[in-house]
Structure 1
C-alpha cells in the first residue's frame, strides 16, 4: 500500500471520529492500567461491568491492595482468567505503592515490569493516559493491518513496528483507537462488513463482502 492511500485512510477515519478513545471506563491512569490489565481475553463491556464495583471499593493502589486477592476476585469473577488477574492486580498495586509513591510510572520499562502488564498494555497506558504516540496492537489491529494491507506483518511486533514507521506523526496518537474500533465494528473477524466500510475503496483485501 502506498503512502497516499494510507494518508487517505487515516484522514477518513479521523473525519469520522475526530477524538477517539478507549471503550474502557476509567477516571485516571491507575484505573486505566487496571482495566487494561483485566481486558486480556475479555470484552471491554465485561471489564466495565466488573470495574464499577472494583474501582468503588479500591479507587487507589493502597485501597485496592487492602482488598487483597480474594477481595479483588469478588469483583472480577465474571471475567476470564480472574484468578491470575487478581493476583497480578494485587502484585502491581504493591509495586506502585512501594516503588512509585502510588503513581503509575510514565515509563515503558517500568510499566512492562509490572505483573500482568506486557508491551500492549504499556502502549495503551502510555498512549491513552499520557498522550504518547504509541500503537498498541491487539487482535483487531493485527487483523485490520494485515487484511487491508495497510501494514502487513507475521507477528504483532512486526505489525506494530510497521505501523509506527508508516503512520505520519499527526495521526499517531489516535491511530490505534481508530483501528481497534474499525476491527471491532466493521472489519470483523469472520465476515467483514465491507459494504458499510468507509475505506472500502482504499482497502486492498481481495475477498470483499457486500454487507
Structure 2
C-alpha cells in the first residue's frame, strides 16, 4: 500500500469499528469538559471519570469553582496525579473565565491556550468536543499509531498533528481523533502490538518483519 491507500483504508476501517465514537470524558458543559481534559493529563480517562462527579457536585461552573479553596479542589482530585498544580490551575482558570469571559468557556483556541494548565492539546479537545470546531488533538495513542501506520515521522506531537491534518479531510478530524484513540486502546496499544499484530498494522504493512519502534512524544 502507498500512503494514499493506507489513509483510505484507515478511514474506512475505523468508521466500521467506531461509527459514532463517544467522548470518553464525562461532562455536562464546555466548562466541565475543560476541567476534565485538564485533569486527564498524565492520568487515565477512567480515573478522571471516577473523580469528577464529586468535584462537579461541589462546583460545575466557574463561579462555584472560584469560591472553593485550592486545598478543597486538591483533596478531591488527588488521585489524578499532579494534584497541586492542577488544583491551582482549575481555580485560577475559573477566576479568569469570570474576569475576562463572562463566566463562559471561549470558543477560541488562542484564548483557551492562555488559560492556566491548558496547553494546545487540551484546547484542541475542547474546541473539537465542546464546540464542534475541526481539530486534531494528538495524544500518546495517536502519536504512536501515526508512526506505526506510516503517516508521520513522529519527531514531535506538533509534527504528527500537522501531518495528520494534511492527510485526512477536515470534516473527519473530530471523529477520527476519537476513533484512533479507541483503536489504540483496544487493538494497537504500546504492549499488545509492535506494528505487526493488529488488523490495521498487518493490512498496511503485510511484509513488515521487524517491530516498528516509535518515538515518544
> TM-score, normalised to structure 1's length?
0.92
1:4-153 map, 5 Å = 4-153=5-154
**SS at structure 2 position matched to 1:191:** coil
Which residue number corresponds to residue 178 of structure 2?
Answer: 177
- Structure 1 gaps, min length 5: none
Which residue number corresponds to residue 164 of structure 2?
Answer: 163
Q: Deviation of residue 15 (structure 1)? A: 1.7
Please state how far the C-alpha of 1:199 moved relative to its aligned partner. 2.0
Q: Secondary structure at the match of 1:78?
A: helix
Q: Which runs of 5+ in 2 are unaligned?
A: 213-217
Q: Is the 8 A contact 1:96 1:104 kept in 2?
A: yes
By how many angstroms is 1:180 displaced? 1.2
Would the alpha carbon gap of residues 197 and 190 (structure 1) be closer, same or farther in structure 2, given more than 3 Å must change?
closer
Please, what is the CA RMSD of the aligned residues?
A: 1.9
Number of aligned residues: 209
Q: CA deviation at 1:153?
A: 2.5
1:34-86 Cα distance to aligned partner (Å, 9 max, x none): 00001110011111111010011101111111112111112101111001100
How far is the alpha carbon of 1:197 from its aligned partner? Answer: 3.4
Pairwise CA distance, 1:131: 0.9
Is contact 1:137–1:159 with CA below 8 Å preserved after alignment?
A: yes
